[in-house]
A = this chain, B = another copy of it.
Amino acid sequence: MEGDAFSVFAITALRLAGHLTAAGDQLAKPAGQTSARWQVLAAARRGGMSVAQIARALGLARQGVQRLADVLQREGLIAYADNPQHQRAKLVRLTEEGAARLGVIEMAQAGWADGLGAAFTSAELDAARAVMARVMEMLEAGETAGG
């Protein structure tokens, strides 16, 4: 039945995420970063977002992203800019040093993704991604409803 198929799907997704995080750490290591920091740097480049907004975009707890951002700010990779919309919620901005580090990571990431992606068709990857996204939507709906 679908419940069993879903359980196997979920267990596989959790194990895959572990491997992807490990791979991301390896990609980010030459730039002295990690998977988590990379995500925050990428959000900082988009610009115009506060820490809380970045946390929501990444699906993480606000406080965890705050801690990462504070570290990155002390290291000079991101900077806090005044937010005309909100006195306390500073906007996160990528510094030149941060952009350089992010560039190193993304160069490596592009080659990595090309290499792994070559073993699949775009249709396969997109179909799998669509199923994952639908599951995520349902989970998010449940989280909002349940507390």
Interface residues of A (CB under 8 A from B): 1-10, 12-24, 26, 35, 58-60, 109-110, 113-122, 124-129, 131-136, 138-140, 142-143, 146
Contacts and interface: CB of A to CB of B under 8 A. Distances in A.
Contacts of A15: 58-59, 136
Tell me how many chains of this kind the complex includes. Answer: 2
Contact of A131 (B22, B59, B124, B136): B124
Contacts of A17: 13-14, 16-18
Given A127-B127, A128-B131, A131-B124, A117 B2 contact: yes
B129 A8 contact: yes
B6 A117 contact: yes
Contacts of A135: 16, 19-20, 116, 120
A15 to B, nearest CB: 5
Given A6-B116, A7-B113, A13-B17, A23 B142 contact: yes
Contacts of A14: 17, 20-21, 24, 35
